[in-house]
Amino acid sequence: MIITKKQVMLPKRKRTSHKGQNGNVLVIGGSYDFVGAVVLAGLAALRSGVDWVTIMCPEKVGWAIHCLTPNLVTRKVKTEFFSARHIPLALKEEQKYDVVLIGNGISLKSKAFCRGFLRRSLKPLVIDADAVKAVRIQDVDNAILTPHHKEFELLLKNSKLTERNFQKYLKYNIVIVKGAVDTIYTRGKIFKNKTGNPGMTKGGTGDVLAGLAVGFLAQSGDLLQSAINATFFNGLIGDILFKKHKGYSYLASDMVDEIKAMRSRNFSPR
């Protein structure tokens, strides 16, 4: 099934809502070399319409984030990268939030942390980047996983599954395989998203997608609808920026800035 604008249904905000009632997001990630990934993801989640985003990250990453934006709260952890000993801390922290995004810029050194946390987390999840490399499909049952093609191959290998049979094991999980055409898999259906262009091969565009997905999920609680919204939105933003810049010179940060204009377009409220 090809995703069209008619299938995009944005969460509707009540006029009487208060702070925190439109979604609280925890993003776990960041490392010494990858500060920007969590910033892009966090800002994309905020632009999607949520009220609050906290980045749980190594301490130095947290201070760097404060230099980049005043819009994100940080939960600084005194470490250079997450390890298994930080699992209890992360599980305690997640209790304050509606949903969790994990993996952006987190580093493969944190593989044991990601695996242990994901197996024990009780929250709806969006799993991206290096966290995808650390998990099996069977380890989670209420998640959106966002691998690119190479990460998808590794996910199947780690799960000891194949492209032919993996959908049977998805339970409630959704897998978005990013590419020239994004493919969304559920246990029984396949959706194709054809928005987007080759300019989106730049670093950071996947972080924006993950941020949109977790933001929509925090507001709606609907895994599939959030995946559809995020992929269509992300690609359409890329297409708009391609026209504005007359080519592929746009950046992932430009995509974050464009989200606010996209939100004002005529999409169906949920």
CATH number, domain containing residue 40: 3.40.1190.20
CA atoms within 13 A on the CB side of 119: 13
Binding residues for AMP: 206
Binding residues: 37, 105, 148, 206-207
Q: Does some domain include residue 223? A: yes
CA atoms within 13 A on the CB side of 38: 37
Quote the CA–CA distance of 26 and 58 in Å, as a whole number: 14
Q: Does some domain include residue 218? A: yes
Q: Does some domain include residue 117? A: yes
Q: Does some domain include residue 183? A: yes
Domains: count for the chain: 1
Q: Does some domain include residue 121? A: yes
Mean pLDDT by 10-residue block, N- to C-terminus, for the chain (270 residues)?
Answer: 93 81 96 96 98 98 98 98 98 99 97 98 98 98 98 98 98 98 98 98 98 98 98 96 95 96 68
Q: Does some domain include residue 77? A: yes
Binding residues for (6S)-NADPHX: 37, 105, 148, 207
Instruction: Catalogue the E-assigned strands of the chain.
Output: 9-10, 24-28, 52-58, 73-77, 99-102, 125-128, 143-146, 174-177, 182-185, 190-193, 268-269
Quote the CA–CA distance of 147 and 145 in Å, as a whole number: 6
* pLDDT at site 166: 98
State which residues form the domain around 165: 20-262
* pLDDT at site 269: 62
* pLDDT at site 19: 81
* pLDDT at site 14: 79
Q: Does some domain include residue 172? A: yes
Tokens found for residue 50? 């949520």
The DSSP symbol for 17 reads: -
- Of 3, 35, 48, 82, which is closest to residue 209 (Cα–Cα)? 48
Residue 241 dihedral angles phi and psi, to the nearest 5°: -70, -35
* pLDDT at site 21: 84
Q: Does some domain include residue 215? A: yes
